[in-house]
Structure 1
């Protein structure tokens, strides 16, 4: 009798091969180790997409919006009133919840992307221009924080680097009359240098003494804040001449960033009130530069090598101390660019010690959501800019607390920091996993599964 477990002498196919090939694995291969090489291409492609970081980020945002919807409904007075007689008329509660949540998110869309209630294309896209305005410093500062993350460093000093960059850029903008274009370019370079020097302090201390950059950058935040606050209260330093308030002088006209509305008017178009300026273009240039740094340059390769394993990088001949210092210089320069945008594009009539507007810490969230990738940070900055721009409209039209926007941002980071939670909610496969093999008699006989 022929052994059905090994096949006949005539070349008949073994019984285990007659079953579905998708239910077996090669001898010695561990299940869930990699994708099934014999599975249809579409199945493998879908599994790789669903286990990727981009899908995880999108789903984290969706979960954050769901959590925010629950909070919006819970804090709405109409929903609370309908809940009081739920057992008498339960449909009223569901209608109230729908009205509260849909109204909030429609207002968010109208305030950040497109206001379809207005007349004229240029007026309808005004909310989008506000989103770009809010996103500009977030993108630049987020790139700085993300760059440090890629090198294995935690730059928590974005606030201090932004304040110093803003102070240097502002001082140049009101102190040195220069021709157009040259004026704001020189002031922008000053902001880059100011942020770079402030970031370099943490890099040098880590490289030479081993001081932890988290502690150093946090302390430097306070140093920068009180240093600039002192300058804004002292005549001859940063305080406006003849003023008793801690406010700096306004920028000279040639030093301010040109606005998109000015360009439209100069080209013969209608007058608009867009606040987005050339700083947004500079943030795009910064994004491309950081992408090129990590993807195409030898310096970026050293950065990535140190970020992956500093000991192995040191063994390979990379000067790890210099990489730490250079990374913090670049990181501080990018955050300083955000500071320059604040004083040259937003607070052009003078700034105070609150010029950072929380951007230094929001940049950490932007970098985390963008997974420290240049274009991920770019789109993350746009998202957070949209939340900020639309949050004010949502508050004005729906009387929803602006704090809900902060809740959405915080919950997004919470889910981004807990990928297993998102995978469990949506039943996503783990990265690098394959479909679990079923226990068939043939698979057990070959020892592929137990």
Structure 2
């Protein structure tokens, strides 16, 4: 039963209900913190202060937020096409490989004004091609995209390891990583740009990829809700049979949805490889693809909601590191527990509280109509 079937207004469904679920998740998480003997108030204070209370902490939070925006958008686009893409981890890995291969090849020869756009295109294309294969297998061969994208996550990690160990690792190096890129392949860091204008900002991994992430949000909003192609994709996602009857080819829309989804996930490589590492490394995605599922779920698969959910998870990631250092008995795993509770209440159990809000709205509506009737009488 959906919230719309319960006759809830859209603002209640998209704003009030998620905030209520988040509050419940935090209360339950506070109970867990109490059980381990820590103070929920202290943990929350340290978490917020570590993530948002300083310029450096804010930089790290926005850096995590950038990655989660990319993976959240990737999941959302596939969802609107009727698909559940859980291969963001592998697609992001291929995006990083694309950035690395292009940077190692061309960065010494090209200026940054040319190299950075090429790196963005490479990340998107590698992610797109990696996601298009499961899309093709589902559309033309009947293989379920959930199964194939899971398998492709492992294949991507193996491919990355193979390339690093056998081809990209410098001779004599024991570290499983590639050569460092030339400066022209590095996405400018925000603190370096601000320093050019005389603004002091502590160093952090935050780079101009955050602008790319926000532009991706605008593009996804325009594509899904303002373009004909996006309408066709959402039509197939809502009812493939009806779309086919209307003259739409669902197979090609499945391929398009997975391709665009993979391109968005591949842009993680720009943030992580071009923006932070400056070289290809093992496991640079670090679970961001799976976090993107929770981000899209909590953000209701809308770009605005995804930005807010990404900021929340970025705060949890950065603040959780500070809490694990500052609060005795509070480990990094506790942050994962809080994230899991948020996913549980904001996603899987999102509709548990919906009947209560629907009844409250119906009661208020009846009361308002009765008051209007008395005034007219």
Q: How does the TM-score come out when normalised to structure 1? A: 0.76
- 1:11 is aligned to none
Cα 1:281–1:436 change in 2 (3 A) is closer
- 1:421 is aligned to 352
Q: Is there any run of 5+ residues in structure 2 with no aligned partner, and where?
A: 368-377
Cα 1:264–1:202 change in 2 (3 A) is same
- 2:47 is aligned to 108
Larger RCO, structure (CA 8 Å, separation 6 or more): 2
Count of aligned pairs: 360
**Following superposition of structure 1 onto structure 2, how do residues 256-335 of structure 1 map, counting pairs within 5 Å?**
256-270=186-200, 272-335=202-265
Measure, in 1, the Cα distance between the counterparts of 2:244 and 2:358. Answer: 36
Measure, in 2, the Cα distance between the counterparts of 1:408 and 1:271. Answer: 30
How much does 1:388 deviate?
0.4
Cα RMSD after superposing both structures: 2.2
Of 113, 117, 124 in structure 2, the residue corresponding to residue 192 of structure 1 is 124
- 1:211 is aligned to 143
Measure, in 2, the Cα distance between the counterparts of 1:281 and 1:75. Answer: 40
How much does 1:270 deviate?
2.9
How much does 1:240 deviate?
2.8
Deviations 1:211-254 (A, max 9, x none): 110111111111111111111110xx222343233211212111
Q: Is there any run of 5+ residues in structure 1 with no aligned partner, and where?
A: 1-31, 36-46, 80-99, 115-123, 439-450
Deviations 1:277-303 (A, max 9, x none): 100000000000000001110010011
Measure, in 2, the Cα distance between the counterparts of 1:308 and 1:57. Answer: 23
For the residue of structure 2 that corresponds to 1:330, the secondary structure is helix
How much does 1:142 deviate?
0.9
Cα 1:196–1:379 change in 2 (3 A) is same
- 1:39 is aligned to none
- 1:74 is aligned to 35
Of 134, 138, 141 in structure 1, the residue corresponding to residue 64 of structure 2 is 134
- Does the 8 Å contact 1:181/1:255 carry over to 2? no
- 2:292 is aligned to 363
Measure, in 1, the Cα distance between the counterparts of 2:262 and 2:306. Answer: 16
How much does 1:420 deviate?
3.5
Larger Rg: 1
For the residue of structure 1 that corresponds to 2:112, the secondary structure is coil
Whether 1:245 and 2:245 are equivalent positions in the alignment is: no
Measure, in 2, the Cα distance between the counterparts of 1:62 and 1:365. Answer: 16
- Does the 8 Å contact 1:143/1:372 carry over to 2? yes
Whether 1:152 and 2:43 are equivalent positions in the alignment is: no
Deviations 1:102-155 (A, max 9, x none): 1111101111112xxxxxxxxx33222211011111101110111001111010
- 2:374 is aligned to none
